């Protein structure tokens, strides 16, 4: 057997040794797709099917490109390694940049054109607005940036976009001006790299023919994540089976079951489209998994089988069934977080490395309770691919406004939010204010000395703070926080951003954090209202923020969103918040194909686990500062019950004989939403059963009953409210 083929399974070998043709490799999670890609390239080189200069390999990350190059160097004989420098390997943007550098004149660019990263692009947009005398309130820079990039990623220019909304009417002329500015300055943003190179190949037939003749093989990783423009760009190089035009053979590796970036423009249907449009005869499924035990894979297969829009495959392993999947039903999100922390503590004592433990969640906001529990347990953690809750910009903005209610001369807080959201207070105004203060005068007094628009803008901000201060003196802390988030303009600002959903959820979680803090203070016998409680809460937030994540190089539990976990693997995975409205996310329930994408996300989450998987959900969860009762996620129902080990739920027999956790469904109540004054979601105490939460109430008068969820040892009890010795908490 050829050395390159050593250790490959039959399906992998079949993919690696395919004759020249368009091919689609459906590579399931943990099936060795990277090895197949690199082995394919090595096979082409060693058999003489292609030289290094005739191969292009496209990845989605620089890390993947580096890994591919490193593996190739290890696979190839020494004599072939120098030729690797002639091979085009990189991300879509890196390869587009390479093309434009070579043909800069034809692309209408200077030889030394510069690339704008996101921060540079935002700065360029702000300069543009200032030059055109357009206020940032009229055209929020981040919103305009998102508008431009989103359309470019669809392969569109301003003249191809219809002004179908007031927003588009405002933004299209600014986009045209932005393009002219970039052209004058000889700069391109990331979206422009791919769009400009695609347009160049489209209009220059000779150049397109040159590259079609040069590249015999184009290999694409993570093909399910391609958007409309990336698909079109690949077409420029490819042999056309319909017209017979010569070109490269596309070797596309992907997994439609792991297409989870629809919000970025990725199109899962690109795999089906490729199969149909390129008349692909070679569709090879890599279904053997080298990562996870059998029970985990069986759960993943069962979940994803409910999706209709998929090409289909079934993962399997020779590693054995392994442990059952552990399921924990928590009374609330705080209890869920404490369970996770306690279980991790047990695992660490058993010798499991912290680096091999991951805690996944659907929404960033969920990390707050989990971080709190891990800090309390003294367990080092690291937020992968993101920031800790109290370090997030939107949270820092909100806390700065809250601090100004108590300390109007808090300069750090003042400088952070005086122009956020934008209100026309620039650096010159702040310099003039500093000159008036001279390190002595308070901010309010100094502001009154400034004349004209700068002085008026500052006075407006200070009046806003004073108004919020007066409106919140005696209100409960959660309401206080909500009023400040709304009154400051933060909620409106983030609601207008294309990607503002996560930030809004984090702000809502700050309201929930305030509610939890009030409950904590009450349990300690501390009662306060208004600004007095606010002062205590700000101290708490500062202390939580001051606690450090794990040091660099220190082993630590990994916290991350499910999206951030793609491509990673861990011995132990905790998947939290499996509730309807959270996972699947509420927004997906109304979007075309939204639930199917959420199910693919669930599939990705489950397949991150190698040896042990925990699934957890809460009966009630604090959302938007309110206690809400949640049903378990439909994805839990889709897992065969024989694969699950319920850690704390009471069980009942189903008709088919399988065991399932007991469930309580809220019963329709009277028009007042209550029975005898009791409401679902209320926390109560029973002298015998302890603390619990009312899940549902029904009936009236002497016949009114409540379903109350107590602790794991007690479970759900049906109580007659007229006689039950319940006490409100």
Active site annotation includes 483: no
> What distance, in Å, lies between the first and last C-alpha atoms of the chain?
73
Could you give the C-alpha distances from 327 to 350, 639, 648, 663, in angstroms and in order? 20, 11, 8, 14
Structure tokens at 530: 């208004």
Q: Any alpha helices (H) in 524-664, and if so which ranges?
A: 530-546, 562-565, 594-606, 634-637
**Complete DSSP assignment for 365-389:** GGHHHHHHHHHHHT--EEETTS--G
Please name the helix (run of DSSP H) or strand (run of DSSP E) that holds residue 90, with its range, or none: strand 88-91
Beta bridge partners of 274: none
Say which residues have a Cβ less than 8 Å from residue 568's Cβ, sequence separation at least 6: 358, 384, 558, 608
| CA Rg value for the chain | 29
Active site annotation includes 221: yes
Distance between CA atoms of residues 494 and 649, nearest Å: 39
Catalytic residue among 17, 34, 154, 459: 34
Active site annotation includes 222: yes
Please name the helix (run of DSSP H) or strand (run of DSSP E) that holds residue 72, with its range, or none: helix 62-75
Catalytic residue among 33, 338, 368, 612: 33
Distance between CA atoms of residues 611 and 603, nearest Å: 16
Distance between CA atoms of residues 41 and 56, nearest Å: 9
Please calculate the CA angle 188-251-6 and round it to the nearest 5 degrees.
125
Active site annotation includes 608: yes
Q: Cβ–Cβ contacts within 10 Å for residue 117, how many?
A: 10
Catalytic residue among 216, 608, 612, 709: 608
Distance between CA atoms of residues 406 and 410, nearest Å: 9
To which residue do tokens 């030394």 refer? 112
Please calculate the CA angle 221-226-228 and round it to the nearest 5 degrees.
150
Catalytic residue among 221, 256, 482, 598: 221
Sign of CA dihedral 188, 495, 601, 348: positive
Q: Of 382, 407, 339, whose CA–CA distance to 576 is shortest?
A: 339
φ, ψ dihedrals at 657, nearest 5°:
95, -10
Q: Cβ–Cβ contacts within 10 Å for residue 465, how many?
A: 22
Structure tokens at 127: 């300069």
Catalytic residue among 258, 429, 607, 669: 258
Active site annotation includes 627: no
Residue 3, class by beta-carbon neighbours within 10 Å (0-12 exposed, 13-18 middle, 19+ buried)?
exposed
Tell me the angle at which helices 367-377 and 501-523 cross, rounded to the nearest 10 degrees: 40
Please calculate the CA angle 615-619-623 and round it to the nearest 5 degrees.
100
Q: Any alpha helices (H) in 450-593, and if so which ranges?
A: 452-471, 477-487, 490-495, 501-523, 530-546, 562-565
Sign of CA dihedral 666, 670, 672, 674: negative
Please tell me whether residue 716 adopts helix, strand or coil conformation.
strand
Contact status, residue 680 vs residue 690, Cβ threshold 8 Å: no
Catalytic residue among 198, 222, 336, 482: 222
Please calculate the CA angle 98-104-109 and round it to the nearest 5 degrees.
120
Active site annotation includes 126: no
List own/partner pairs for 204-210 with CB under 8 A and 24 or more apart: 204/106, 207/103, 207/106, 208/236
Structure tokens at 11: 């399906």
φ, ψ dihedrals at 252, nearest 5°:
-105, 125
Catalytic residues: 33-34, 221-222, 258, 608
């Amino acid at each position: 057997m050829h050395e390159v083929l050593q250790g490959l399974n039959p399906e992998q070998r079949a993919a690696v040794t395919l004759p020249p043709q368009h091919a689609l490799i459906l590579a399931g999670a943990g099936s060795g797709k990277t090895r197949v890609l690199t082995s394919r390239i090595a096979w082409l080189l060693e058999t003489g099917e292609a030289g290094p200069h005739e191969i292009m390999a496209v990845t989605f990350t620089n890390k993947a490109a580096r890994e591919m190059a490193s593996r190739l160097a290890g696979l190839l004989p020494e004599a072939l390694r120098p030729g690797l420098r002639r091979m085009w390997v990189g991300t879509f943007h890196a390869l587009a940049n390479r093309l434009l550098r070579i043909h800069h004149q034809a692309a209408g660019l200077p030889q030394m054109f510069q690339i704008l990263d996101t921060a540079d692009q935002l700065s360029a947009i702000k300069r543009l607005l200032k030059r055109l005398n357009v206020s940032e309130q009229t055209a929020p820079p981040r919103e305009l940036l998102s508008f431009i990039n989103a359309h470019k990623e669809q392969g569109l220019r301003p003249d191809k976009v219809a002004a179908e909304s007031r927003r588009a009417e405002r933004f299209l002329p600014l986009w045209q001006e932005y393009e002219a500015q970039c052209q004058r300055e000889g700069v391109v943003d990331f979206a422009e790299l791919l769009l400009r190179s695609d347009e160049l190949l489209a209009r220059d037939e000779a150049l397109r023919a040159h590259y079609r003749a040069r590249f015999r093989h184009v290999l694409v990783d993570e093909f399910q994540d391609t958007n409309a423009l990336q698909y079109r760009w690949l077409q420029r190089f490819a042999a056309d089976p319909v017209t017979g035009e010569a070109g490269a053979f596309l070797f596309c590796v992907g997994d439609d079951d792991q297409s989870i970036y629809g919000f970025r423009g990725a199109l899962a249907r690109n795999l089906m489209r490729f199969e149909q449009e390129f008349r692909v005869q070679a569709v090879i499924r890599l279904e053997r998994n080298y990562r996870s035990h059998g029970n985990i894979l069986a759960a993943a297969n069962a979940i994803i089988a409910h999706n209709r829009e998929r090409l289909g495959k079934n993962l399997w392993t020779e590693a054995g069934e392994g442990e059952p999947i552990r399921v924990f039903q928590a009374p609330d999100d705080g209890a869920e977080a404490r369970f996770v922390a306690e279980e991790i503590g047990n695992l660490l004592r058993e010798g499991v490395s912290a680096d091999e433990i991951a805690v996944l969640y659907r929404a960033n906001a969920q990390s707050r309770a989990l971080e709190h529990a891990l800090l309390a347990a003294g367990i080092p953690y690291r937020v992968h691919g993101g920031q800790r809750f109290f370090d997030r910009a939107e949270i820092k903005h909100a806390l700065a406004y809250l601090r100004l209610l108590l300390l109007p001369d808090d300069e750090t807080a003042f400088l952070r939010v005086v122009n956020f959201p934008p209100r026309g207070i620039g650096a010159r105004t702040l310099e003039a204010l500093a000159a008036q203060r001279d390190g002595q005068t308070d901010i309010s007094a100094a502001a009154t000395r400034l004349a004209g628009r700068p002085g008026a803008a500052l006075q407006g901000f200070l009046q806003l703070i004073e108004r919020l201060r007066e409106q919140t003196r005696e209100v409960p802390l959660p309401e206080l926080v909500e009023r400040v988030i709304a009154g400051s303009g933060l909620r409106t600002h983030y609601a207008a951003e294309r990607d503002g959903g996560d930030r809004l959820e984090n702000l809502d979680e700050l309201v929930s954090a305030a509610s939890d803090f009030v409950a904590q203070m009450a349990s300690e016998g501390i009662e306060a209202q208004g600004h007095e409680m606010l002062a205590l809460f700000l101290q708490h937030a500062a202390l939580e923020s001051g606690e450090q994540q794990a040091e660099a190089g220190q082993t630590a539990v990994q916290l991350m969103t499910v999206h951030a976990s793609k491509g990673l693997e861990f011995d132990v995975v905790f998947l939290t918040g499996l509730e309807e409205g959270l996972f699947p996310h509420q927004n997906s329930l109304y979007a075309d194909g939204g639930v199917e994408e959420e199910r693919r996300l669930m599939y990705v989450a489950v397949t991150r686990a190698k040896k042990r998987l925990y699934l957890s959900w809460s009966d009630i969860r604090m959302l938007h500062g309110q206690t809400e009762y949640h049903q378990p996620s439909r994805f839990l129902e889709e897992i065969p019950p024989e694969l699950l080990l319920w850690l704390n739920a009471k069980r009942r027999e189903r008709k088919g004989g399988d065991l399932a956790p007991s469930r309580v469904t809220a019963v329709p109540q009277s028009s007042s939403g209550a029975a005898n004054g009791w409401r679902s979601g209320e926390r109560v105490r029973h002298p015998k059963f302890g603390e619990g939460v009312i899940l549902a109430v029904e009936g009236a008068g002497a016949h009114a009953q409540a379903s109350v969820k107590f602790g794991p040892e007690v479970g759900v009890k049906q109580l007659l409210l007229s006689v039950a010795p319940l006490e409100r908490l």
